[in-house]
Amino acid sequence: MAPPTETGVRTLFDANRLLVLILGLPVLAGMAGIALPAFGYLPALGESQFTLDHFAELSGQPHILRSTLTGLAAGLATTSISIAIVGTFLAGFAGTPVFSRIQHLVSPLLAVPHAAVAFALAFLIAPSGLLLRLISPELTGFARPPQWLVPNDPLALSMIAGLVAKEIPFLFLVALAALPQLPLRQSRQLTAALGHGHVSGFFVTLWPALYRQIRLAVLAVLVYSVSVVDVAIILGPQLPATLPVRIALWTADHELSARFLASAAALLQLAVVAVAIASWFLMERLGKIALARMTASGRRIRNDTLLRLASAIAMAATAVLTFLGLAALGLWSIAGLWPFPNNVPTHFTPQTWLRSMPQLGPPLRTTVALAISAASLALLIAIMLLNRNGAAGGGGKAIAYKSLYLPLLLPEISFVFGLKILIIAAGFEPAFATVLAAHLLFVLPYVLLSLSSPWRTLDPRFERIAAGFGKSPLRILITVRLPMLLRACLTAFAVGFSVSVSLYLPTLLIGAGRLTTIATESVALASGGDRRVIGVYALVQALLPFLAFLVASLGPQLLFRNRRAMRT
């Protein structure tokens, strides 16, 4: 669809440039906000001498190398495992009935916040967790919890598991969106005729094109898991913690020098992310060579039943374990005394909920207010941008839309901390508006990603007819396009809402304790150890996005009671 008119003003405020402005400026400002203090320059604290002392101090921190490497390795492992499982499953099952069944099982997981998934997993796999309780003492002989070091194991395995459980649904749904653009059926027929099994046939023919489409999302997963803080606090190693967690601690240190140290470390984290991306590129290259070898060799893996089965089990297990974990959270939230190895509590009590209710109120209100504001604002901006430019993916314009990924491809601990320093230096209070602005940075990309595909696929003839009736572009937008895209808009809103609900670090750093949300409260409780209260908070956090999606799916039904065709 061509833009209605082309004027000088329009090109000046070209949507791509606007997007770069909205997302790029704060991110780059944030990077500057840590780069200068890292080298000792922070006039607000009376330091304007450039120095490398803070990097020397950083390198003198105990076990800093181990912290850095653990986080890096965990991120690379998470991304490799997630993409391997999702890729194999797509290859093995795309277009089959099993596929849609697993799709229905996995899709809701996307809405569950990272922290809630991490808690769910922790409640399952701990030595005193639900899984061992279910089989003890009958199968294991354990009358008391065994001395196993999970979660929080030094190799970060439980943290990787928690991240994989959350990234699989994300990568899966991103790939799902790209799948219709591939000639799946034809390729399946062709490769089957050539004697390939499902998996090898898919990888030889379709994988390169599919991977190209989801590559940015994969990199976003990589950057996120290398830099994650909340999941690392809940499931990650503690002796020493990963680098991002330690940076988060330093940002809160009461010694002034720690702010410089944190800046230097945040810059180090940026370097870690760069190394991670470089390693990933290398792995991509190796993968490409291997795939080319396999293709050229003509080897056909006919019998891939085991491989397919394994990938399907892995996909299903992610969903089942997460839901089982959420059930465990629910059970603990109403548990009285629950000694090991009992499968269920000795008695149930609403006491934890009743006691938590009043405390839950203010952060819950803040969470919902932030999420609604951020999602609405993001939706408005997304509609504005899309309306100016048409959808992403249209030829050369698509490239500039990659700035969407900017906040997702840089470590948030780095640039959000930089923003915090700038905000303090500028004398702003930690307030709703500043936290909202920080949320928008993360919410907008997802809202835009979610909305741009339906925006693009809407049949342009509806609007042409309206234009033929002499309606103005704005009128066409409001009376034709938006009502027809209502469901897509509501879904994008729900996506934005759930992203905002799950944001931990931006809320913690920019809100500075003044603005608490369910996310910051629940992660703060992670060290508190009271499973009942954690159960309440994590459950509330997990339920909020579901409510948003429920509203999104019911909205059209209510609004278009009298227009059946509009309800889909």
Residues that bind another protein (CB under 8 A): 44-46, 62-63, 66, 127-128, 143-145, 147, 149, 152-154, 238-240, 252-256, 258-259, 336-340, 347, 349, 351-352, 355-356, 358-359, 424-425, 427, 429-430, 512-514, 516, 521, 524-525, 527-533
Give 102 or 509: the residue with its C-beta nearer to another protein: 509
Give 63 or 215: the residue with its C-beta nearer to another protein: 63
Give 358 or 470: the residue with its C-beta nearer to another protein: 358
CB of 146 to another protein, least distance (A): 9
Cα dihedral 270, 79, 119, 511 sign = positive
Give 44 or 474: the residue with its C-beta nearer to another protein: 44
From the number of C-beta atoms within 10 Å of its C-beta (0-12, 13-18, 19+), residue 345 rates as middle
Give 293 or 347: the residue with its C-beta nearer to another protein: 347
CB of 160 to another protein, least distance (A): 17
Residues pairing with 48 in the sheet: 41
Give 452 or 520: the residue with its C-beta nearer to another protein: 520
CB of 369 to another protein, least distance (A): 16
Give the separation between CA 497 and CA 482, rounded to whole angstroms: 19
CB of 532 to another protein, least distance (A): 8
Q: How far apart are the first and last CA of the chain?
A: 23
Give 337 or 565: the residue with its C-beta nearer to another protein: 337
Give the separation between CA 558 and CA 199, rounded to whole angstroms: 44
Give the separation between CA 128 and CA 126, rounded to whole angstroms: 5
Compute the C-alpha angle 100/102/105, nearest 5°.
110
CB of 66 to another protein, least distance (A): 5
Q: Helix, strand or coil for residue 154?
A: coil
Give the separation between CA 135 and CA 121, rounded to whole angstroms: 17
Give 122 or 494: the residue with its C-beta nearer to another protein: 122
Q: Are strands 47-48 and 41-42 parallel, antiparallel or unpaired?
A: antiparallel
From the number of C-beta atoms within 10 Å of its C-beta (0-12, 13-18, 19+), residue 499 rates as buried
Phi, psi of 338 (to 5 degrees): -140, 75
From the number of C-beta atoms within 10 Å of its C-beta (0-12, 13-18, 19+), residue 243 rates as buried
Question: What 8-state DSSP symbol labels residue 335?
Answer: B
CB of 530 to another protein, least distance (A): 5
Give 349 or 553: the residue with its C-beta nearer to another protein: 349
Give the separation between CA 113 and CA 412, rounded to whole angstroms: 16
Give 338 or 446: the residue with its C-beta nearer to another protein: 338
Give the separation between CA 237 and CA 226, rounded to whole angstroms: 14
C-alpha gyration radius of the chain: 25
Q: How far is CA 349 from CA 114, 336, 359, in A?
A: 28, 6, 18
Q: Are 225 and 78 in contact (CB under 8 A)?
A: yes
